[in-house]
Amino acid sequence: MKEIYQKLKGLERKTSPLVVPIKDSADVTWVNPVLVCNIKFTEITEDGSVRHPVFQGLRIDRNPQEVVLEKKSKKS
């Protein structure tokens, strides 16, 4: 956790890097989008929020520009 904190601390910025603003950003600490993390979650809500996210680690093998929102897979 200390290592991740130090990485994020060095990437802080005053403004959002997001194209689409988020509703409640009063207590947000923004960082430059240069790291990729792997998370698991139960679902993405209709308004685009991730429900029940669980951090699984940083991905050093992925470029942030390559990351896209995964589509829900069809159950067999």
Domain boundaries, the chain: 2-21+30-66
First-to-final CA distance of the chain: 38
Task: Note the Cα 52 to chain centre separation in Å.
Answer: 13
Q: Tell me which of 49 and 36 has the higher pLDDT.
A: 36
Q: DSSP characters for 4-16?
A: HHHHHHTTEESS-
pTM for this prediction: 0.71
Statement: 2-21+30-66 belongs to CATH 3.40.50.410: no
- Count each helix (H run) and each strand (E run) in the chain, helices first: 1, 6
- pLDDT for 23 beyond 90: no
Q: What is the pLDDT of residues 37-75, one digit of tens each?
A: 999 999 988 887 889 999 999 999 999 999 887 776 666
pLDDT of res. 72: 66
DSSP H or E segment with residue 2: helix 2-9
